[in-house]
Amino acid sequence: MDTKKEIDMKMVIGLMDDNYSLINVDYRENLDNNLGTIAKCIETKSHDALFEVVDECYYDHRISNVRIIMEDIKTKLKDIGYKKWETEKFFEENEDEIECEIYERDDSDPIKDLLGNTDKIPVRIEMISNYDCINSHWFESSGGYSYKDSYFGDMVDALNLNPFKVKSLLLEHGEKVFGKFPNKMSRNGKEQVSYNQFYEELENSCCGANLLTYTATIDIQELHDADFNLSEIIIPKGNSCGLYSSMQGGGSLLDMELEYDVKLSLKKDNYPYFRLELENHGKGYDYSIKQVYGVCNSFYGKPLNIISQSQINQTA
C-alpha cells in the first residue's frame, strides 16, 4: 500500500488561487462621513490617518475572508484524500505562514474603491490677515473704510482691485472713507471680481469677524494622488467668493463671481495667507456655510485644481 505524502507548505500553496480579494467594497460605501479623517490627512500631509481608519473598518471583513479561504483549502485537501485531523493539525501548526501567503495574494484596494464612491467635497478657502478680520458693513461704515493697515485693505489687494476705484465706489454710495487709497492702475482690467459685486458684498455683510472666503469643491481622488499636500491651489473662473464668519455663523451674499482662475498659496510663510477648510458640520463657534445658508453642494462651484509639489519645484 502506497504511503501518502505528508501535507507541507508547498502543497498548501499549490492549492491557493493566484489572487484573492479579501475586501469587497459596496458601491454605497464611501468617505462622505469621514471628513474629520480627510482633514487630518491634509493637516499632516499624510495618508496615515486614512489607512488607519480603513484598516480598522475592514479588519473583521478581511479576517473573515481569510478564514473562508483557509476552509476552502482544507476542503481541497480532504478531496485529495487527507483526513480532517491531518489538515487541522497542519493548519494549527502553520497558521501564521498560511495567512501570510494569503495576504500576499490580496489584490483588493479598498481605499481606491472608497475614493471612487466619494462625492466631491465642498470647501471654503479663507484669507488670514495680520489685521484679524473685517466686521459688518454697519460697523465698518460707521467709522469709515480704510485701505492702509486693515483687513479691508488686504482684501482689496487679494482681489486685485484698484484701491482708488474702490474709494470712488464707496464715496458714490455715500460711505465714509479715510486715509490714502493709491491709484494702482496696473490692476485695471485684471480684477478678480467686479466692483459692483464687491460693494454688494460689503453692503450685505451682516455680522462681525468676517474673512474673505472663496468657495469650491475638491476631488478626493486628486487630493489623495497629491499625497494630501495642498501648498498651492487654483480656484476656477466662475466660482464665488464673499465674506463669511464661521465663528458667528453669518456673512455676506457670497456671490462675487471670479472673472478668471485664481491661484492661491496655502503656505503660512507670512501674512496674508490662505487656509482651506472642509465644509464639515461644525458646532459651537465653528459653523459651516452649509449649516448657515442651507445650501447644497452645487453652491460651492467647480472643483479646485491642486498644483503638485513637482510643479511647484519646476517653477521655483
- Alpha-carbon distance 40 to 278, whole Å? 11
- Residue 4, in any domain of the structure: no
CA distance 214 to 235: 8
Torsion angle, CA of 159/160/165/167, rounded to 10 degrees? 50
Query: Are 106 and 147 in a shared domain?
Result: no
CA dist list (Å): 129 to 158, 255, 288: 10, 21, 20
Q: What is the mean pLDDT of residues 256-270?
A: 95
What confidence score (pLDDT) does residue 283 get?
66
Q: Are 188 and 194 in contact (CB under 8 A)?
A: no
Q: Find where cell 495574494 sits.
A: 105
Same domain? For 19 and 144 the reply is no
Average pLDDT estimate for 200-229: 95
Exposed (0-12), middle (13-18) or buried (19+): which is 173, by Cβ within 10 Å?
exposed
Q: Is pLDDT at 131 greater than 50 in this prediction?
A: yes
**Cis amide bond preceding 110, omega within 30:** no
Split at pLDDT 50, 70, 90, the class of 252 is very high
Query: Which pairing describes strands 145-146 and 177-178: parallel, antiparallel, or unpaired?
Result: parallel
Structural element, H or E, at residue 123: strand 121-128
Q: CB neighbours of 124 closer than 8 A, spacing ≥ 6?
A: 213, 214, 215, 216, 244, 246, 276, 277, 279, 288, 289, 300
pLDDT score recorded for residue 134: 97
Of 114, 148, 175, the last residue of a domain is 114
Determine the residue type at 166. V
Listed residues 64, 93, 114: the one ending a domain = 114
Residue 31: inside a domain, yes or no? yes
Give yes or no for residue 1 having a pLDDT over 50: no
> Which domain does 95 fall in, by range?
9-114
- Residues 137 and 76 both lie in one domain: no
Residue 256 lies in a domain: yes
| Amino acid symbol at 120 | K
The secondary structure element, H or E, covering residue 177 is strand 177-178
Instruction: Based on the fold, state whether residues 178 and 70 are members of the same structural domain.
Output: no
CA dihedral 109, 112, 116, 118 (to 10 degrees): 110
Phi-psi region of 137 (alpha: psi -120 to 50; beta: other; left: phi over 0): alpha
Backbone angles phi, psi at 284, to 5 degrees: 65, -120
For 164-191, write each residue's pLDDT tens digit.
999 999 999 999 999 999 999 999 999 9
Instruction: Express each pLDDT in 38-50 by its tens digit.
Output: 999 999 999 999 9
Q: How confident is the model at residue 284 (pLDDT cuts 50, 70, 90)?
A: low
In the predicted structure, residue 316 carries a pLDDT above the cut 70: no
Res. 163 pLDDT band, cuts 50 70 90: very high
- 22 with 62: CB under 8 angstroms? yes
From 121, 119, 122, select the one nearest 28 (Cα to Cα).
119
Q: Which of 128, 54, 161, 58 is nearest to 277 (CA)?
A: 128
* All cell numbers assigned to 120: 466631491
Assess whether 241 and 199 both reside in one domain: yes
Same domain for 108 and 29, yes or no, is: yes
pLDDT at 314: 59
Q: Is the pLDDT of residue 238 over 90?
A: yes
The reported pLDDT for the residue numbered 315 is 59
Q: How many domains does the chain have?
A: 2
Do the beta carbons of residue 131 and residue 151 sit within 8 Å? yes
pLDDT at 282: 72
Task: Indicate the SS3 state at residue 306.
Answer: strand
Residue 294 lies in a domain: yes
